[in-house]
Structure 1
């Protein structure tokens, strides 16, 4: 009996889209399917559980066990679709008007499909001199939190590779750097009172407003006096408030208000001096206002990426894509963590456009998916 024909990259993508792997939810069914696909190709697979039930990372290798392989990496989770005006089912890939619609088509199940095609291509090459590695992570969309357990395991094993390609959607342009991120929460505690006698209380929302003004002043200082890098569209580190929650009723002086803010940091930038200044102001506010208490807590952070223009791995990937120079992006990826844990050069390059990510009717063009397939196959050819 003849073996069944291999799935096309498009057919693989259709399978992947059908798994609704929203961030902060389980991805076990998708990982089961990918692992079965790879084991059928003879891949060596390592499944690494995350901190929450039903969430997993998967690392697979094809070829000899040497230290000069290449890692292709992508995250399995997608952002929610709730409240978005989709005109197609986001979890059933739909072809319409020359576009392939579905949540994750660009960000970034399109690249995951290309990774599995690359695995099939590698598995049927008998002359691999170096391995192809595939890394699938969970919960990247909430701050690159899921990949840590996999990278810790690989680092403990002494894993080495020549370099890593993170396949975020860059229209297949090679990216050598991006900013890091720090997310934090300011909890402002006051004293509740009846609104008819507000002086008997301490208004937590007023405390929060003062802290927000301080963040705005620090942002201006970052822009004017902080480090700068003109390779980025926004050439300085940024600091901004994104969430605020406080109060329970209009006639009660609020005793609690939480503010969440983030910093987008140039590669290598240290956030601590700016956090220290924020803490100094919080301390002064509490001295001035009886019953006030302010806590600042870092919720999540990941490093930026800064791959040298002279790095040979970067140059090799640029030869494949035809880029004359590498670019830098403002959004973050898991690339800085791969570099930090495993001390390997990292580039970001994948099919599709980030401009379509996280929106209703996300799509990838068939020709972009084809170009992504060609890209990863050429990477495999470098391992022969």
Structure 2
């Protein structure tokens, strides 16, 4: 099919960049910037504070509002301790599938979008098309949040965002938010034979987890009547409780890693306010009665808003027309779509490959999925005259 060979060639290059979130993505971003620049795109590369990560935002067409954004994240999850049958950073084609880390999540979409750039450059009219490729989506959507600040400051106002996460080319109009935290407890170490003379950080962390479990149940009653999510309420998950050094030592340090996935912004406020009051009124007074310096501090790892289904959604209407779908769905996993929506864009998630393959050994995207994506992207060219 037209553009498939170009997409495969680009994807082979992209897979060869080992852009695990802990490492730099600069080589991949510079490669994409050069490629888009050759077709006349105006390319901006924005590095993070470390200088080792960067976002790319490129535009083909006029400098006006209302453009269409094609968005993807450049980072991938680690391959450590995964049992791959091939080199994860060398694309392998076999039985109608392309194997490699990031093939579906989500370098396949990025390759397809960039392969279409020459076509868009010839076709663009009154409506620009933008390419937004970010860093650190897998570790809290840090790149997309930084890019949003840049676009807001520059007054760049696209109208539509298509986030190409792997959805098997289904149109996704809604997903929950993802708020991740680490709560740190500082107590007072001592000998286990004298528990009243210490402040047991693990025990206070356990009481905090009990409160999380209580909130987890209370959130069920707050589920919106028309919620389309599964489950329909905001969820809380306790991922880890770490602390202690020995059986007979009162632990002075502990940490809880936890998350919540709000279906509505008010639920996050409800949970955070309750935990603040519980710590301020119950846990901390008891801890500081023994050691005034005892403390509980919650570190925000990431707070990423969900994608809220909207009655008026140009992105959804556009994708339904381009793909022939007769509706849109919601999913439980998070994406950067809510960040683009917060900038005033209509947003959907739609891309090649299945989320069932993401993050696993022998990750792949099928050629059939890439072809469906390219058909959609080619039809999208007709919207650039609008």
Aligned-pair RMSD on alpha carbons?
A: 1.8
Tell whether 2:137 aligns with 1:137.
no
Cα distance in 2 for partners of 1:57, 1:265 equals 27
Give the deviation of 1:12 after TM superposition. 0.8
Query: 2:265 aligns to what SS in structure 1?
Result: coil
> Which residue of 2 is the match for residue 381 of structure 1?
382
- Extract unaligned runs of 5+ from structure 2: none
Give the deviation of 1:281 after TM superposition. 2.1
**Greater CA deviation, 110-119 or 155-164?**
155-164
> Which residue of 2 is the match for residue 51 of structure 1?
49
From the superposition, tell whether residues 272 and 230 of structure 1 become closer, same or farther in structure 2 (CA, over 3 Å): closer
From the superposition, tell whether residues 229 and 86 of structure 1 become closer, same or farther in structure 2 (CA, over 3 Å): farther
Give the deviation of 1:6 after TM superposition. 10
Give the deviation of 1:377 after TM superposition. 1.3
Instruction: Describe the superposition over 1:123-154 as per-residue Cα deviations: whole angstroms up to 9, x where unpaired.
Output: 233x5232111111000111101122222222
Runs of 4+ more than 4 Å apart? none
Would the aligned equivalents of 2:234 and 2:267 in 1 still touch at CA under 8 Å? no
> Normalised by the size of structure 2, how large is the TM-score?
0.93
- Extract unaligned runs of 5+ from structure 1: none
Give the deviation of 1:310 after TM superposition. 2.9
Choose the corresponding residue for 2:9, options 5, 11, 21. 11
Tell whether 2:151 aligns with 1:154.
yes
Cα distance in 2 for partners of 1:82, 1:75 equals 20
Where does 1:207-226 land on structure 2 (aligned, <5 Å)? 207-226=204-223
> Which residue of 2 is the match for residue 313 of structure 1?
315
> Which residue of 2 is the match for residue 344 of structure 1?
345
From the superposition, tell whether residues 90 and 6 of structure 1 become closer, same or farther in structure 2 (CA, over 3 Å): closer
> Which residue of 2 is the match for residue 169 of structure 1?
166
From the superposition, tell whether residues 43 and 360 of structure 1 become closer, same or farther in structure 2 (CA, over 3 Å): same
Where does 1:1-384 land on structure 2 (aligned, <5 Å)? 8-125=6-123, 128-227=125-224, 229-283=226-280, 284-289=282-287, 290-291=290-291, 292-340=294-342, 342-384=343-385
**Greater CA deviation, 96-105 or 308-317?**
308-317
**Greater CA deviation, 223-232 or 324-333?**
223-232
Would the aligned equivalents of 2:314 and 2:346 in 1 still touch at CA under 8 Å? no
**Greater CA deviation, 278-287 or 77-86?**
278-287
Cα distance in 2 for partners of 1:103, 1:229 equals 38
Give the deviation of 1:271 after TM superposition. 1.1
From the superposition, tell whether residues 139 and 228 of structure 1 become closer, same or farther in structure 2 (CA, over 3 Å): farther
Give the deviation of 1:226 after TM superposition. 4.3
Query: 2:266 aligns to what SS in structure 1?
Result: coil
Would the aligned equivalents of 1:104 and 1:362 in 2 still touch at CA under 8 Å? yes
